[in-house]
Amino acid sequence: MESRIDSSSHQLQLPEVARVPVARPLHWLRLAWQDLRYSPVESIAYGVFFAALGWLILTFAADKPYLFTFAISGFFLLAPLLVSGLYEISRRRGQGLPQTLIADSLAGYLRNGQSLFHMGVLLAVIAIGWERISAILFALLYGGATPDLSQFVQDIFLSGDYLRFVIAWTLLGGALAAVVFAITAVSIPMMVDREVDLVTAMMTSFRAVAANLLAMIFWAAILFALTAIGFATWLFGLIVILPLLGHATWHCYKDLVR
């Protein structure tokens, strides 16, 4: 099935957005695997670095349950920005440039650095806001006590006594995740690729998600499932999963934004 173009963006002077089949994310993953094979050392290096960083953060937060859950959700929020170097690797391959070195891939962070910085500030503010919400919900639940992580997991998932907390945390977190996904799904690779400002990139991303709602829900589910597998393997799985998803996000952008 061929992609169709949504040309209504001309009125807003935004890039055109393509419409793709629901199963299109599988194509992005196939292309991502080719990128990973094209530049395995550089791609895996990103995976190792961020997996190690994540391990340090989670180790620090292990005895602070609300920080532990915030650390995981914060990873989901910031990961699309942190892996901008992977977008650069995919961009170079798409343009037929020589196999990139890690130093070359750092251009992905610098080419449109001001807009990426603004996105980083926005995501940091959102992450801090979510940390405060989590802290408030946690305080309402435990009233100042600080259980260890195993006790927290048992209370939340096994006792059945904190259903309201689970529902509130899930609804608030899900709503926040949906908004962040809508404005970052293609905006960050777009800023790596083009000299666009933050607002233009976010509006384009929102339109791309809205025009391909089912495909992007499928894509979000893949992102969540594979990242969850990465965490379930004590972050070792992220060494490969993170580069794969980073490259796939680039191909999502190239497929949806003209």
- Map residue 192 onto helix, strand or coil: helix
Q: How far is C-alpha 254 from the chain's CA centre? A: 16
Q: Is residue 13 part of a domain?
A: no
Beta bridge partners of residue 6, listed in sequence order: 17
Q: Is residue 9 part of a domain?
A: no
Q: Is residue 7 part of a domain?
A: no
- In this prediction the pTM is 0.89
Of 153, 124, 168, nearest to 66 by C-alpha is: 153
Amino acid at 240: V
Q: How many domains does the chain have?
A: 1
Q: Is residue 152 part of a domain?
A: yes
Signed CA dihedral, 151, 229, 92, 184: sign only: negative
258 residues of the chain, pLDDT tens digit each = 444 545 444 445 789 999 999 999 999 999 999 999 999 999 999 999 999 988 988 888 777 777 777 788 888 888 899 999 999 999 999 998 876 677 788 888 998 999 999 999 999 999 999 888 888 877 777 666 666 767 777 777 777 777 887 888 889 889 999 999 999 999 999 999 999 999 999 999 999 999 999 999 999 999 999 999 998 998 999 999 999 999 999 999 999 999
Q: Is residue 150 part of a domain?
A: yes
Q: Is residue 57 part of a domain?
A: yes
Q: The tokens 């400002």 sit on which residue?
A: 197
Of 2, 4, 1, nearest to 211 by C-alpha is: 4
Q: Is residue 93 part of a domain?
A: yes
Return the beta strands (E) in the chain as ranges. Answer: 4-6, 17-19
- Residue 74's domain spans which residues? 22-256
Of 181, 242, 233, 175, nearest to 210 by C-alpha is: 181
The CA distances from residue 235 to 142, 196, 242, 244, in Å, are 29, 34, 10, 14
Quick one: CA torsion of 26, 22, 172, 244, rounded to 10 degrees?
10
Paired tokens of 104: 């070359």
Q: Is residue 6 part of a domain?
A: no
